[in-house]
Amino acid sequence: MTALRTSAETASGTAVLRLGTRASVLARTQSQTVADAITAATGTPVELVHITTEGDRSQAAIAQLGGTGVFVTALRDALLAGEIDLAVHSYKDLPTAAAPGLILAAVPPREDPRDALVARDGLTLGELPAGSRIGTGAPRRVAQLRALGLGLEIVPIRGNVDTRLGRVAGLGGPGGGAGDLDAVVLARAGLSRLGRLAVITETLDPLQVLPAPAQGALAVECRTSDARTRELLGRLEDSRTRACALAERTTLGTLEAGCSAPVAAYAEVAEGEHGPELFLRASVTAIDGSDGVRGSLSGPLDDAASLGRTLAAELLDRGAAELMAVGR
């Protein structure tokens, strides 16, 4: 773990919050957004502390690195050691089990959670000819793209956003890639945070490709014992985003699956007869795209976790566990 620290106080004596972040451009951008929001809401200065994780050091596939938590462990270790005061994670990267001594102090408002296609010649998914090479590193996307039956060749990829974009033929860009792919699929939220929405050729309908649980949401974590930081971070909380993420991730956790499993879940808040309701959808798809199960439920926001457990149980009754084992 590599951490760069500066003073914990300003000249006026105001305590500075040390925010741990991965050093990638996207992680730093997300963390700076949270840092600016904390300062705007509380007047408290925040400094970024760059921490290198195992996921940043390796170019191996996420599943080969151990799946869930590969980008999280070093940040959590730094928190527990008192080297930083808070950490910002992409919520979908967090293990579903709670970390002893740490608390999810805030879930800020969510970006658009859908997946996005970036293709050569401005093509949409349906316009890509059979045999087109599509890059993605997520088993969930691999499974769902294969299930569409479009005859696409799915190519596993890793790397930052610009590296992935650089591999799209004719796109080039700062990554300077080889242009060996016809398209890549990325989270729309990451492109939005980097100001790269213009490269998107199609935002994928969840009816085609359902997003990852908690995709587009950020998780702001601190020590359970740190009352001051917990209070400050609480001002960033968006209760609807937390409820959606909780429903989605409870589905994932009840399925006993991690971020390297072909599981998708997406919750939205809509007005029901008795006020706001959650509408939760989830799916499990065999990695080869040969079969899949989908389901949906709706209910009060306060029942988010219960909805997730119930929907996961329904999917398990319909063979989800067997589907997750296909191709392993």
CA distance 137 to 3: 28
Are 115-203 and 242-325 equal in CATH topology?
no
Total number of residues shown for the chain: 328
Candidate list 93, 115, 182, 226, residue with the active-site label: 93
Q: Where are the domains of the chain?
A: 17-108+217-237, 115-203, 242-325
Q: Is 93 a catalytic residue?
A: yes
Single pTM value for the model: 0.87
- pLDDT (tens place) for every residue of the chain, 328 residues total: 434 333 355 444 468 999 999 989 999 999 999 999 999 999 999 999 999 865 544 444 444 444 446 679 999 999 999 999 999 999 999 998 889 999 999 999 999 999 999 999 999 999 999 999 999 989 999 999 999 999 999 999 988 899 999 999 887 655 445 689 999 999 999 999 999 999 999 999 999 999 999 999 999 999 999 999 999 999 999 999 999 999 999 999 999 876 678 999 999 999 888 889 999 999 999 999 999 999 999 999 999 999 999 999 999 999 999 998 876 5
Q: Report the pLDDT value the prediction gives residue 325, as an integer from 0 to 100.
A: 83
Q: Name every residue whose Cβ is closer than 8 Å to that of residue 152 and which is 6 or more positions away in sequence.
A: 128, 130, 131, 132, 133, 134, 145, 146
CATH number of 17-108+217-237: 3.40.190.10
Q: Report the pLDDT value the prediction gives residue 137, as an integer from 0 to 100.
A: 86
CA distance 311 to 256: 13
62, 260 in Cβ contact below 8 A?
Answer: yes
Q: Report the pLDDT value the prediction gives residue 171, as an integer from 0 to 100.
A: 78
Q: Report the pLDDT value the prediction gives residue 66, as an integer from 0 to 100.
A: 45
- In terms of C-beta density within 10 A (0-12 exposed, 13-18 middle, 19 or more buried), how is residue 135 classed? buried
183, 94 in Cβ contact below 8 A?
Answer: no
Q: Report the pLDDT value the prediction gives residue 40, as an integer from 0 to 100.
A: 97
Superfamily of domain 242-325: Porphobilinogen deaminase, C-terminal domain (3.30.160.40)
Superfamily of domain 115-203: Periplasmic binding protein-like II (3.40.190.10)
Q: Report the pLDDT value the prediction gives residue 257, as an integer from 0 to 100.
A: 74
